[in-house]
Structure 1
Amino acid sequence: MKLTPDIPAPSGILEAALYVDDLDAAEQFYGQVLGLERIQRIKDRHVFYRVGGSVLLLFNPDQTEQPPMNPNLPVPPHGARGAGHVCLVLTRDEIAAMRKHLLDWNVPIDAEFDWPSGARSLYIRDPAGNSVEFAEGHLWG
């Protein structure tokens, strides 16, 4: 339901960010363990991954809290501390395959269950403690 008809409604989420304290560990986890396609890494500042039509941004908050260094890209300082959350879409069969794959990598499963909507979710933690969920796309209806 659109509450204000005169304001344009975004059509999706282009990117989502998580904050990590060790980019090398994050890069191994998201690139090797989860098999995401890396787009870019800039030293100890960030590493970006393609996820379908979206991008997962992994930032070192010690770097992103600093004022921008490039006047042509004046991204405001940002950062967060503590565990965040991201949910990645898989089918039920893909979630089962991912579960096996994660256990083969010795990644503990935090939780797995079916929602009242019937959608399946599987939760794990990345090396920084962020909650990573894999869920069926019909979770939200």
Structure 2
Amino acid sequence: MEEIIKIKETCLYIKDLEAARDFYHNKLGLEVIHYDRGRHVFFRAGSSVLLCFNPDDSKYKDSPPPHYAEGNQHYAFEVSRENYETVKEKIKALNIEIIDKLVWKSGQESFYFNDHEGNVLEFVPEGVWG
């Protein structure tokens, strides 16, 4: 559909929402939009929203429709090319292990790390996909 502008929300399923709030807010600096203990915590990530749902709650909902996932999930944060190396150094300074790096066809590098539950997160420089 040509009308689609972007993906507005990305969702992770995380059982320990307190640890999620600590990791995403206190370490990565994402603003907490909404927190409902035991159910979900939502964060602002630039112009997008990161939704963290407790799968034990969200898979039994009536509305919105039930949803959940298991295992390591993945998504990427985009940063400006100018800030990419700075962000990588900040992640290292937080004692967050960089578990992989890739060089894409564009010649740009991205790097991967885990959150507190093993989800695979990535930072990519702006324009990595052209």
TM-score normalised over the length of structure 2: 0.92
Please say if 1:76 is aligned against 2:65: yes
Matched, 1:54 2:54: no
Aligned to 1:71: none
Paired amino acid for 1:58: C
- The AA in structure 2 aligned to 1:96 is E
Listed as ranges, the gaps of 5+ residues in structure 2 are: none
> Residue 98 of structure 1: which of 77, 87, 92 is its match?
87
The aligned residue for residue 123 of structure 1 is 112
Structure 1 gaps of 5+ residues are 1-6, 69-73
Runs of 4+ in 1 over 6 A off after TM superposition: none
* Alignment check: 8 A CA contact 1:15 1:57 kept: yes
Matching residue of 1:43: 37
Aligned to 1:11: 5
The percentage of counterpart residues that share the same residue type is: 38
Q: Is the 8 A contact 2:81 2:126 kept in 1?
A: no
3-state secondary structure, aligned to 2:6: coil
Structure 1 segment 22-33 matched on structure 2, within 5 A: 22-33=16-27
User: What RMSD over aligned residues (CA atoms) do the two structures have, in Å?
Assistant: 1.4
For 2:102 and 2:94, the matched residues in 1 are separated by 21
Alpha-carbon distance in structure 1 between the residues aligned to 2:108 and 2:3? 26
CA deviation after TM superposition for structure 1 residue 131, in Å: 0.7
- The CA distance in 2 between the partners of 1:127 and 1:101, in whole Å, is 17
Query: TM-score, normalization: structure 1?
Result: 0.85
SS in 1 for 2:127: helix
Q: 8 Å contact 1:107–1:124 — kept in the other structure?
A: yes
Q: How many residues are matched? A: 130
Q: Distance in 1 between matches of 2:82 and 2:93?
A: 17
- Greater fraction strand: 2
Counterpart residue identity of residue 26, structure 1: A
Shift of 1:8: 5.3
| 8 Å contact kept, 2:106–2:128 | yes
